[in-house]
């Protein structure tokens, strides 16, 4: 992996970069669509390429359970299994174990849990997480961590952080595949000093890049912003910074200004399936009756496949009649909107006027009352 910072904005910490990985080059800041089950729901890899996605995220917990690593291995790895030849990032499975599974026990060794499908008993350790991620064969893999629930008290967060640092060191030790790079994950809850301790501990171990974890878990947005900015500022400038599991378009625009390089979130795909699309003015619920005779595209001037060929009235009709194409068109538009947002942000940083871009976008975009969350 090679990461090069290309432009540094003058008025904010925003920057553009070039991330060179085993399966290709990613321009940063970038947004990774989420392909939990080795598919970005309802769209093909060709459609992902058409919207401009350069990298996607897949999920260790889910793929480790179904279909299991042997089958993916026999297929020649995740890229060939899912027919996507550009970069992939897999998360460590930690977040899903803590949020989805029926947790039995957390020890120094790892986590014992019952999965959310068959209820069978499993143990996930740092070594096991890395073993699964190496078998999947993603370009970027993540250290195994505990993401403390929100809210958690300071004592719990402290203990959890110590454990996460131990697990980070063990993840690092287990990582042997030189074609993949390993990122550490910053935790420390909502406490600045613990965030700092986390960054220092991870830097001592040494990682190719750093995830900012433990945010967008239910805390107020202002607190998320404050801690994302603080944490991004602590991380080494020459390494990629990945803010995990966020967010809505306005959140991304604000957080790019903190110097974040990589994002992932289920929002564009999940909202699309629910009949909500993003425009420069904010979220629009296209399934609403108000659009039944509206023959404009989802967004005037949008270059996506859905907007070039279909109208609000038609897509609303598809939602109204439960047609699968409705989900696909809304998803394609939302993914294009996110990639276009990244392209525009990168251009603004190159031109050195990110502040003006951010201000203009946020003035026009009505914030969604609902929040981004993780898969
Ligand atoms: Zn569109």
Q: What is the pLDDT of residue 344?
A: 98
* Domain final residue, candidates 224, 246, 265: 265
User: How do strand 276-279 and strand 56-59 relate by DSSP bridges?
Assistant: unpaired
If you average pLDDT over residues 102-119, what whole number do you get? Answer: 92
Q: State whether 148 and 250 are in the same domain.
A: yes
Residue 55 is part of a domain; what is its CATH number?
3.20.20.105
Q: Does residue 91 carry a catalytic annotation? A: yes
Q: State whether 64 and 164 are in the same domain.
A: yes
59 CA → ligand 1 middle, Å: 27
Q: What's the CA gap between 235 and 257, in Å, rounded?
A: 15
Per-residue confidence band for 375, with pLDDT thresholds at 50, 70 and 90: very low
The pTM of the whole model exceeds 0.95:
yes
Read off the pLDDT of residues 235-287 as tens digits, 9 standing for 90 and up. Answer: 999 999 999 999 999 999 999 999 999 999 999 999 999 999 999 999 999 99
**Count: domains in the chain:** 2
Q: State whether 202 and 169 are in the same domain.
A: yes
Phi then psi dihedrals of residue 295, to 5 deg: -100, 25
User: How do strand 140-142 and strand 181-186 relate by DSSP bridges?
Assistant: parallel
Cβ-based neighbours of 270, under 8 Å, separated by 6 or more: none
Q: What's the CA gap between 150 and 347, in Å, rounded?
A: 36
18 CA → ligand 1 middle, Å: 26
Residue with tokens 């993401």: 147
220 CA → ligand 1 middle, Å: 30
Q: What is the mean pLDDT of the chain?
A: 96
* Domain final residue, candidates 234, 265, 296: 265
In this structure, is residue 323 part of a structural domain?
yes
Q: State whether 248 and 288 are in the same domain.
A: no
Catalytic residue among 139, 145, 261, 264: 264
Q: What's the CA gap between 85 and 79, in Å, rounded?
A: 6
Read off the pLDDT of residues 298-335 as tens digits, 9 standing for 90 and up. Answer: 999 999 999 999 999 999 999 999 999 999 999 999 99
Q: State whether 220 and 345 are in the same domain.
A: no
Per-residue confidence band for 374, with pLDDT thresholds at 50, 70 and 90: very low
What is the gyration radius of the CA atoms in the chain, in angstroms?
Answer: 20
In which element (H, E) is residue 27 found?
strand 24-28
Read off the pLDDT of residues 171-218 as tens digits, 9 standing for 90 and up. Answer: 999 999 999 999 999 999 999 999 999 999 999 999 999 999 999 999
Q: What is the pLDDT of residue 371?
A: 58
Q: State whether 284 and 181 are in the same domain.
A: no
In this structure, is residue 300 part of a structural domain?
yes
CA dihedral 107, 68, 57, 104 (to 10 degrees): -20
368 CA → ligand 1 middle, Å: 19
Q: What is the pLDDT of residue 351?
A: 97
In which element (H, E) is residue 32 found?
strand 30-35
* Domain final residue, candidates 235, 265, 295: 265
Q: State whether 285 and 160 are in the same domain.
A: no
- Distances in Å between the alpha carbon of 171 and those of 73, 122, 123? 21, 18, 15
Structure tokens given for 177: 């595949």
346 CA → ligand 1 middle, Å: 20
Catalytic residue among 27, 85, 91, 373: 91
Q: What is the pLDDT of residue 368?
A: 82
pLDDT more than 70, % of the chain: 98
């Amino acid at each position: 992996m090679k990461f090069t910072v290309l432009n540094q904005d003058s008025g904010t910490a925003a920057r553009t970069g070039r991330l060179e990985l085993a399966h290709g080059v990613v321009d940063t800041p970038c947004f990774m669509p989420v392909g939990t089950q080795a598919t970005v729901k309802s769209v093909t890899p060709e459609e992902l390429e058409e919207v401009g996605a350069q990298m996607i995220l897949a999920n260790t917990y889910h793929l480790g359970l179904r279909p299991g690593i042997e089958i993916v291995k026999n297929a020649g790895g995740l890229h060939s299994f899912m027919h996507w030849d550009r970069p992939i990032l897999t998360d460590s499975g930690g977040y899903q174990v803590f949020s989805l599974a029926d947790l039995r026990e957390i020890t120094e060794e790892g986590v014992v849990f019952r999965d959310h499908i068959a209820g069978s008993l499993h143990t996930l350790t740092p070594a096991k997480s890395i073993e699964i991620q190496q078998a999947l064969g993603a370009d970027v893999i993540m250290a195994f961590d505990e993401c403390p629930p929100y809210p958690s008290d300071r004592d719990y967060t402290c203990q959890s952080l110590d454990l996460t640092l131990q697990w980070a060191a063990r993840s690092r030790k287990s990582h042997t595949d030189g074609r993949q790079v390993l990122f550490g994950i910053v935790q420390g809850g909502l406490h600045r000093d613990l965030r700092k301790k986390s960054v220092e501990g991870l830097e001592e171990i040494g990682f190719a890049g750093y995830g900012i974890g433990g945010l967008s878990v239910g805390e107020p947005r202002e607190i998320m912003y404050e801690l994302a900015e603080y944490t991004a500022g602590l991380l080494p400038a020459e390494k990629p910074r990945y803010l995990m599991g966020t967010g809505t378009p306005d959140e991304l625009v604000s957080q790019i200004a903190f110097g974040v390089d990589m994002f992932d979130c289920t929002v564009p795909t999940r909202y699309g399936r629910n009949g909500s699309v993003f425009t420069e003015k904010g979220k629009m619920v296209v399934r609403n009756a108000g659009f039944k005779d509206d023959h404009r595209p989802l967004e005037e001037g949008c270059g996506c496949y859905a907007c070039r060929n279909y109208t609000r009235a038609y897509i609303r009709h598809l939602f109204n009649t439960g047609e699968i194409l409705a989900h696909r068109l809304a998803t394609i538009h939302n993914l294009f909107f996110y990639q276009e947002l990244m392209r525009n942000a990168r251009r603004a940083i190159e031109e050195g006027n990110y502040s003006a871009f951010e201000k203009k976008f946020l003035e026009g975009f009505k914030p969604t009352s609902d929040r981004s969350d993780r898969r």
